[in-house]
Chains A and B, each alone.
Chain A
Amino acid sequence: MLGLDRKDFTLVLIIALVALLAPFLLNFWPTESGMAQFNAGYPALMQRFAIYGIFAIGFNILFGLTGYLSFGHAAFLGVGSYSAVWMFKLLSMNVLPGIFLAIIVSGLFALVIGYVSLRRSGIYFSILTLAFAQMSFNLAYSVLTPLTNGETGLQTTLNDPRILGASRTAEGGIPVPSLFGLEMNATSIWKIGGWEFQFNVGYYFAAALMVLTFYLSIRLFRSPFGLMLRAIKTNQTRMSYTGLSSRPYTLAAFVISGMYAGLAGALLACMDPLAGAERMQWTASGEVVIMSILGGAGTLLGPILGAGVIKYLENIFSKINEGVLHGWFDFLPEVVKEPLVWLFARFTGEGWSLTLGLIFMIVVIFLPGGLMEGARRIGDLFRKRGKPSDDDKEHHPKPAAHVAE
């Protein structure tokens, strides 16, 4: 079906269903309950799940298949955002031209950076990509201010030309990004019992694109092209003595994953038409690396899972400030409470990245195959003993030994 075998097709269907039902599935507790702050079923967060899912799926095509660890993919995310916002300013608030331009520009940008960086492999490749991304960040921050609006960030204003649209709405405000009139921030709320389910246009648009990009990535994984990319990860010497030139393959993978990042960047701009340089910073590049490895690099589902888990935890942990902690530990005597609150406060709120680092370390040390590896091990426990799992190889690859080769 659609060029996939039954198992893969089912996987796409499941992803599509989960994406469709996410407003229900992620709304765990009633709105009034104290646990409602742990809900994930609200538009801003669900949009991020879908968008960072796309980012990670694309990153996985490069890193998961070829083993080339790019530390500069946020550059393409940023380029995508800037391109989209420029389209919103100059052409129209319709999201399609913005997305189209973002994919083209980030693809070209990836072609240039990839062409240079792929002359090296292993750690040198990683450092080259990191250097390019930091250069892009600095350019966007200062030198290219006319293009990027520097520190303030690029945003839509009332004075933008918007040749095919309107500079301002009838009410005199800045128009909102939309898909042929469907405004991205439009949300309809459905109240059932104590629950409030939110259906947001922007989320469903991003989710549809995530399912589409996921489908394309499965096709790519199962294609001869995907096979060549995995061959590159395994043995480049054999590659070349088999008559294959690995450079065009790695470059194509790099450009494709750059275009995925550009799409993700454009979608961020669609949800909030503002692009800032910090989107290109190395922390953003590192985040997608962590998402892929946490979920399981080289697996199909891993990157989406990793993106979801990280964005969810980021959301929860950033919310927990000292006030919340005081509430939690109120039952304890003062002498115990104060140090405990102090300790926990290092890991929550502003300290979220510390927790992220810890999670990452634990996963890399104890579960190098990521969450997908964990899921497989649990699955094996429930299967009959001695009967090996019949999953295909991509679902549980060997730990990524190629990272620093």
Chain B
Amino acid sequence: MGILEVKNVSKRFGGLKALSDVNLSIAENTVHALIGPNGAGKSTLLNVLVGKLIPDTGSVTFEGQSVLGRKPHEINQMGISRVFQTPEIFGELTVMENVLIPCFAKRDGAFRMHALESTGREKEMVEKAEAMLIDVKMIDKRGMHAASMSRGDKRRLEMAMCLVQEPKLLLLDEPTAGMARADTNNTIDLLKEIKSKRPITMAIIEHDMHVVFSLAERITVLAQGTPLVEDIPENIKGHPKVMEAYLGTTHGEAAE
């Protein structure tokens, strides 16, 4: 039994079958990559996992408990954090505040009426947020307006916001898209470091095969809403079905 079990999940958008009969098991403390051409249904699958979408059929369980029908914040409180394909951050707030919010959410739960405490004096929270910002090399940007940063920095910030919650399962939707090569490598190192520090399970959607093969311990290839193959990276590289799925797309490097 994996930490996350997806069974027979299907999702239609009108006439389009975005997910058809998806079965997926993610083992605890592994990095599991989801690859596949654009429109394969990868983001839709993540939407189902975090409660943004409710599938037409099937079941999703996390640590043995069903996530279907739970609200997004309840699913997060179970230990699932997600980095979105287009960064979702608090644009009007500072970088530091962006990281503080998940710290409080983790400590205080979905709601707490802490109206007379002082944010600046919550030493433990501030230190935790600062340590996280140092880890993602953004501490010098702590006072910056989040909306005014580059796309790559926004992604790193969003990743920091998820990581500071110490989730059991981290979902990453194309975390390095829009990043410069150096930043991509930093991201790989960061995720590796996080993984070495404490137990964490990651599901990562990525087009950059360098990232996939640097991190993934297992890979599932999705095409047209169905998993084609699932295997260890070495076996995926030359797999004929994968080549077929990617043929004609810009991601031929998967089949090198």
Contacts and interface: CB of A to CB of B under 8 A. Distances in A.
Interface residues of A, number: 33
Contacts of A230: 90, 92-93, 97
Contacts of B115: 219-220, 223, 225-226, 252, 256
A234 B76 contact: no
Contacts of A120: none
B103 to A, nearest CB: 9
Contacts of B106: 243
28 contacts: A3-B116, A219-B115, A219-B116, A223-B114, A223-B116, A224-B100, A224-B114, A225-B115, A227-B93, A227-B97, A227-B100, A227-B104, A227-B119, A230-B90, A231-B101, A235-B90, A240-B72, A240-B76, A241-B72, A241-B73, A242-B73, A242-B161, A243-B73, A243-B105, A243-B106, A244-B105, A244-B111, A249-B111
Interface string B126-162: 0000000000000000000100000000000000010
A391 interface: no
A234 B117 contact: no
Contact of A224 (B81, B88, B93, B104): B104
Given A228-B104, A243-B76, A245-B71, A234 B93 contact: yes
Contact of A225 (B50, B89, B90, B114): B114
A238 interface: yes
Contacts of A220: 115-116
Interface in A238-290: 238-245, 248-249, 252, 256
A222 B126 CA distance: 14
A188 B21 CA distance: 83
Interface in A190-235: 219-220, 222-228, 230-231, 233-235
Interface of B: 50, 71-73, 76-77, 81-82, 84, 88-94, 97, 100-102, 104-106, 108-120, 122, 125, 145, 161, 165
Most chain B CB atoms below 10 A, which of A5, A225, A244: A244
B1 to A, nearest CB: 25
Contact of B120 (A5, A225, A245, A397): A5
